[in-house]
Structure 1
Amino acid sequence: MKKSKKIISLAFVVLLLISIVPMSASAAEVVYGNFSFELNGTTNQATLSEYNGNSSSVKVPDTVYGYTVTKIDDLVFYKHDEIQSVSLPNTIKSIGFSAFSSCTKLKKIILPVTVTSMGEYTFNNCTSLTEAYVNSAIETLPNYMFKNCTSLTKVNVNFYTEKIGTRAFDGCTSLKSLPNGVAITEIGDEAFFNSGLESIKINDTVTTIANGAFSNCSKLTKVNVPSSVTSIFDNAFSNCGENLTIIGDYGSYAEKYAKDNNITFEENPLLIGDVNNDGDINVRDSVYILRYIALQSGYEIPEGTLIFKRADVNGDGKVDVTDATLIQKYALHMIDKF
């Protein structure tokens, strides 16, 4: 009988120990305020796995019980339509699929530069969102990131970002201009499908405009396409209406594309004398011509090209020392016109 009691007591102690020690030494679920977190003992990091609050203002903590909060899991804030503002710490590295989808009262979002990974549909159907500052160090804006954000008017993008993903701005009917992004090279499939764009200037880092990128943009009337663009898919501007005009440089791919697709083309107004195309007329332009005359590598001015038109400042059909001298005099305010 005594032996039996000892066995029962030992079993009780074992069960008690199991109940207070996590099943895994590397992970545990904890509650912290209105949040649930998964703690990883191996990395000392925490993942926000659930939100159970109902506040209009949410601040995600940077640490939980000594663990650094580095990830927001899939669907954490999905359909929390009471949320109007969210503050994210500079410890967040990853934001999951549809993490903020259908937060229909969310007005503004600032994503920290520490974020290097984001899932698709991140802010899908956030219909009150007007401003988004994507400071995140991501190469591609996720597919469907701002789909149906019908109030969105301003988007800033980090210099890390090189591509706008598929339908990233699909249905953003209040968006009249492109996101500010200095390193974007590719505009993805249907990136701005059915958006409110009206008159846009594509960044001169862009090289590719993909399939349907601006299709169904019924208000789009003017698109300034830089010479950096060397690939435009045939239906990139489908269903944009008869008033669409592509503005580009003489002899550029944009000109060829417009003519091949029966779209009105306008040549960019030339800044005669701006040989290096930096937006200014100065001594550097004169030096460019002199190096061209000296046959220095990298300083080419082929006849019939846009650079030739800018360099032939006196309009005599040649690019020579006379043009270089005129540019110098203009730059030194010795003459006020060519």
Structure 2
Amino acid sequence: MKQTKRILAIMLTLALSISMIPTINVSAAKKVKLNKTKATIYVGKTVTLKLKNNKNKIKWSSSNKKVATVTSKGKVKGKKAGKATITAKVGKKKYKCKVTVKKKVVKQTTPQTIPQPIEKTTTKPSEQSTTSKQEETTNNQEQPTTNITEEPTTNSDDYGDSGEDWMVKSTSNKCWIQEYVGTETDIVIPEKICGKTVVGIDNGAFAYCDSLISVIIPNSVTSIGDSAFSHCTNLKRVEIPNSVTKIEGDAFSSCRSLKELIIPNSVVYMGMHTFSFNDMETVKLPYVQNYEFFVQSCTINQVIYYEGTSKINLGDFSFCSIESVIIPESVIEIEMEISDYYKSKINNIVGKQGSYAELWAKQNGYTFIAQ
């Protein structure tokens, strides 16, 4: 009896010990990813993309809807030959699949030829042999090649870029760049994307793109949006064409590696803080007649105004440290409409001897250096 009680006590102790051991979750969190990162389909055909291990809402988009469209459930359909990037966005994270759309394969069957009656003539055996060989050769030449595959069409000058690396908003014949989804560090923005002229860079299109080193903007662009390139900390070189007339606020702010910025003389509007919080060697700019433009907290070696400019406003710079302002002889009016609290520090005014710039510098207590 005692032996039985001892066994029961041991079993009860073991059961209690096991129940106290915490449950260990052996299933590690699975990584969220697309079932495909590359896909090739033909025009009219579909492929379904799925975001594995995801329970949140997905926003699907296509970089080129003329090439491939995508539904809210990730079903991609080929529209015409070309390339497009399909993006699945969950919160701030993006998952991309590069889709290539090809033209359908067209097969042609060999048309049957109707045999022609052969006129019987009396010939020598050697002549019959020669005639038969000639007829056989002729028949072979008449037969067309079978199983012809039509190659995908290539981009023409009118079509421009395929749009694989770009997300755009567009009208029937124009488009604005909303986001760059490629991997290049030195970018030449195309003049046309999928046959549509690129006329603008939208708000924040390249913002916080740390990998961007240089960018060339095409002659088709007329506007650069708010914060378009802001916080591109490794951006060193920008080429802005004379087609641009409008640059919104903060467009190039906090681009710490940008040493030279040439604003074309075509620009008639610039917003606040266009290139604020930068440390630059050279800034060349026109006089912009609006009450929004001013830059803040910059260190600039030289500010240059265009020859032919008749009026400038040094009040556009607040909390800035400027070594030299180079003023052309054409300037006959200089404004400094800013309080002493916001006033910039300008060490030298540089210009032609005897010019209005020299007179203004002496009247306002600035050091003048003759060119």
* TM-score, normalised via structure 2 length: 0.48
Q: Which residue of 2 aligns with 1:172?
A: 298
Deviation of residue 222 (structure 1)? 5.3
Deviates more, 1:218-227 or 1:203-212: 218-227
Change (3 A) 1:51 1:69: same
Give percent identity, aligned residues only: 23
AA aligned to 2:337 is N
Deviation of residue 82 (structure 1)? 1.1
Deviation of residue 217 (structure 1)? 3.7
Change (3 A) 1:212 1:129: same
Distance in 1, matches of 2:210 and 2:298, equals: 19
AA aligned to 1:37 is V
* TM-score, normalised via structure 1 length: 0.53
Which sections of structure 1, spanning at least 5 residues, go unmatched? 1-18, 23-29, 230-245, 270-278, 280-338
Q: Deviations over 1:164-195 (max 9, x none)?
A: 8756442221x122224124344447422233
Q: Which residue of 2 aligns with 1:65?
A: 194
AA aligned to 1:156 is K
Q: Which residue of 1 aligns with 2:167?
A: 36
SS of the equivalent of 2:187 reads: strand
Distance in 2, matches of 1:202 and 1:164, equals: 20
Distance in 2, matches of 1:52 and 1:113, equals: 26
Q: Does 1:138 align with 2:240?
A: no
Larger Rg belongs to: 2
Change (3 A) 1:66 1:223: closer
AA aligned to 1:34 is D
Which is richer in strand? 2
Q: Is the 8 A contact 1:187 1:213 kept in 2?
A: no
The correspondence of residues 67-86 of structure 1 with structure 2, limited to 5 A, is 67-86=196-215
SS of the equivalent of 1:125 reads: coil
The correspondence of residues 194-273 of structure 1 with structure 2, limited to 5 A, is 194-203=319-328, 204-212=330-338, 216-218=343-345, 220=347, 247-248=358-359, 257-258=363-364, 263=365
Change (3 A) 1:157 1:142: same
Deviates more, 1:53-62 or 1:163-172: 163-172
Q: Which residue of 1 aligns with 2:309?
A: 184
Change (3 A) 1:156 1:247: closer
Change (3 A) 1:127 1:254: closer
Deviation of residue 62 (structure 1)? 1.1
**Which of these residues, 100, 103, 107, is aligned with residue 236 of structure 2?**
107
Distance in 1, matches of 2:177 and 2:324, equals: 41
Aligned length: 213
Change (3 A) 1:164 1:127: farther
Q: Is the 8 A contact 1:167 1:190 kept in 2?
A: no
